[in-house]
Amino acid sequence: MNWNVLRVLAGISCGLVGANLASSQVVINELMAVNNSTDYDDFFEAEDWIELYNAGGIVNLAGYYLSDDPDSLTKWMFPTTNAGLTTVLPGGHLRIWCDNDVDQGEDHAGFKLSADGEEVFLVEPDGVTIMDQIAFGPQADNISYGRACDGCPDWIFFDVPTPEQPNAYTQPETAQLYFNEFQHLNASTVAAEVGPGGAWLELFNPNAFAVNAASYTVAHANASWTLPGNDPVGTVIEPEGFLLIWLNGETQWGSNHASIAINEGETPPAQWTLSGPDGALVDEATWVPVGQDESYGRSTDGGLTWQVFAQPTPQVSNQLILFPGANLVLNELLSDNVWGIADEAGEREDWFEIHNPTAQPVDLAGYYLTDQWNNPTKFRVPVGLPDSTVIAPGGFLLFWADEDQNQGWNHVNFRLSNSGEHLALRSPDGFSVVDSLNFPEIWPSFSYGRLEDAGAPWVFFEQTTPNASNNGATVDLAEPNSVSAVVAPNPVRRGGQVAVNAPGTLYSPQGARITSWGNALQFQAPHQPGMYFIHWAGEGASAPSKLLVL
């Protein structure tokens, strides 16, 4: 990867309108990258979508383009044969389905949107002039991302999406959530994905639908904290799911780090309340302090009685029966498949490999895979397929990370981020970690894997070995340290605080040096939105990192 060539991104909070756009001001107005059940196309399929808004005169978009690839701005063209579709009236909206299924109609684009975040472009008929472009970060299920009002510069998340309607935030109804578990003296129970850990509390969603805990308020007699609304990936609680909130006062580490601090050595306040976005009391609980690495929680999730747990159960059911799982390992992965192997549908998708180094076959049925620390049971390996899910002694099993479960049982419901992220294999109890890693940014079509099967260290491979042994494969000579540097939160709001754990230098999208630091610290994110680059310094430095400023 040539880090000397830096591509300029548009400001996320202000779309760029091309000067050659005659008599109209058409902008990308709203998008949904993870539509599971909010809205359906004519084939009753919940698909990704992009909405355009016309702030000017009548315009016909025939011959214009939409794309999610800066190297291919003519990826999908608005049809020239359907003026009824492509003509947008003043103040009008046009929604295009992004499902990579052009056979379903002229309003179906030839690409999908990535749940991990990417850029989308609206391009003039010359195929070069960009009318508007938006870079967006990770997206949550059934929540859209759009301008605060039609054509406005600021972008927000909508719990109630507004496709083909004026953009206006509607506060969702307050749903029932519960305080489910508390822990004060956390010496070895659970660690934060990034940043400090310490004391925590857990919320439980008893509903059959997901609830965004953004704008809910946690409080005790002397302090309160409202969950932020700019990170739905971190605040949405899945049906009958859990959300862990760190009580360390270190809010710069993410949306689940509260401004409320419960320090080791002090007794936590007894009475706690949870209020909804409308201010209504949702739940209240009494925190009873217990011993080190014990917790205090409801005997059954959301139930009336409370008890002391010698084995705390953060992010999983309080009725958990532990099943540690077999001795399996994550062995190799590829997050940017440009010219590597293709899946059964002929598509080059992300993939990762699980290896069984034992002398016994292991059935992976019922195990969990996830790329989100706060959603440990994101994908469950199907049961009842022993011919497929059993890994032979010394064998390997490949999973496609393409968000396309319709293509087979081993196609998971998440992708691997090109910028690096978390990946974990958990046992059938959903809690016990069989193996996990935080992998760094990986060069296109290079893989990241164990130098020797089931061993250490992790290295970059020029010669990838999916479903086969890593032993003897060609290793890239420029491999960075296997322990990656951390930057959090990422994405970050413009002007927000960014924390890093290693020395480095921040560069602008144009390649200009902004600031350098010699030790782990915090710094203020730039006020101009875009994609910035951090080049890490020192012996064994990690590969450069991208910092997305919203």
CATH number of 26-158: 2.60.40
Answer yes or no: pTM beyond 0.75: no
**9 band by pLDDT with thresholds 50, 70 and 90:** very low
Element (H, E) at 201: strand 200-204
Contact 449, 331 (CB under 8 A): yes
What is residue 173's DSSP assignment?
P
Q: Which pLDDT score is estimated for 543?
A: 65
Domain boundaries, the chain: 26-158, 178-309, 329-461, 487-549
- In tens, the pLDDT along 73-130 reads 999 999 999 999 999 999 999 999 999 999 999 999 999 998 888 899 999 999 999 9
What average pLDDT does range 299-322 have in this prediction? Answer: 93
320 contacts 300 by C-beta, under 8 angstroms = no
- For 547, the 3-state DSSP assignment is strand
Measured between alpha carbons, how far is 120 from 68 in angstroms, rounded to an integer? 4
Q: Do residues 55 and 33 lie in contact, with contact meaning Cβ atoms separated by under 8 Å?
A: no
What is the residue-averaged pLDDT of the chain?
88
487-549 matches 178-309 in CATH topology:
yes
Is residue 341 predicted with pLDDT exceeding 60? yes
Give tens-digit pLDDT for 510-543: 667 888 887 767 788 887 777 787 888 876 666 6
Q: CA quadruple 527, 529, 530, 536: dihedral positive or negative?
A: positive
Q: What CATH number is given for 487-549 in this structure?
A: 2.60.40
Strands laid side by side in the 504-507 sheet: 513-517, 504-507, 530-536, 545-549
Report CA-CA distances (Å) from 82 to 58, 79, 105, 107, 363: 15, 6, 11, 10, 53
What residues pair up with 152 in beta bridges, in sequence order? Answer: none
| b/e code 445-476 from CB counts within 10 Å (16+ = b) | bbbbbbbebbeeebbbbeebbbeeebeebeee
Region of poorest pLDDT, from 167-171, 184-188, 452-456, 485-489: 485-489
The encoded tokens of residue 291 equal 């011993």
- Residue for token pair 């010698």: 310
* pLDDT higher than threshold 50 for residue 480: no
HEC-encoded secondary structure of 10-27: CCCCCCCCCCCCCCCCEE
C-alpha 434/C-alpha 327 separation (Å) is 7
197 half-sphere exposure, CB direction, 13 A CA radius: 14
Residue 477 has a pLDDT of 54
User: Which two tokens mark 295?
Assistant: 């917790």
Helix/strand/coil (H, E, C) string of 47-71? CEEEEEEECCCCEECCCCEEECCCC
Q: What's the DSSP call for residue 265?
A: T
Mean pLDDT of 155-160: 94
Q: What is the pLDDT of residues 221-251, one digit of tens each?
A: 999 999 999 899 999 999 999 999 999 999 9
* pLDDT over 90, % of the chain: 64
Report the 10 Å Cβ neighbour count for 346.
Answer: 6
Q: What is the mean pLDDT of residues 163-184?
A: 94
Average pLDDT over residues 339-344: 91
146 three-class SS: strand
Average pLDDT of the residues in 436-450: 89
Contact 125, 64 (CB under 8 A): yes
Report whether the peptide linkage leading into residue 196 is cis, meaning its omega lies within 30 degrees of zero.
no
Indicate the SS3 state at residue 355: strand
Q: Which residues pair with 422 in a beta bridge?
A: 438
Query: CA-to-CA distance for 164 and 54, rounded, in angstroms?
Result: 11
What does the alpha-carbon distance between residue 342 and residue 339 come to, in Å, rounded to a whole number? 9
Q: Mean pLDDT across the stretch 333-350?
A: 92
Q: Which of 530, 419, 537 is nearest to 8 (CA)?
A: 530
- Fold classification of 178-309 is Immunoglobulin-like (2.60.40)
Q: Is the peptide bond before 161 cis (omega within 30 degrees of 0)?
A: no
Residue 97: phi and psi, rounded to 5, are -80, 130
Class of domain 329-461: mainly beta
Average the pLDDT over 160-166 and give the result. 95
Task: Report, as an integer, the average pLDDT of 393-400.
Answer: 97
Q: Which residues contact 170 (CB under 8 A, 6 or more apart)?
A: 158, 159, 160
Tokens of 509: 């999208």
Whether the CA torsion 400, 404, 407, 412 is positive or negative: it is: positive
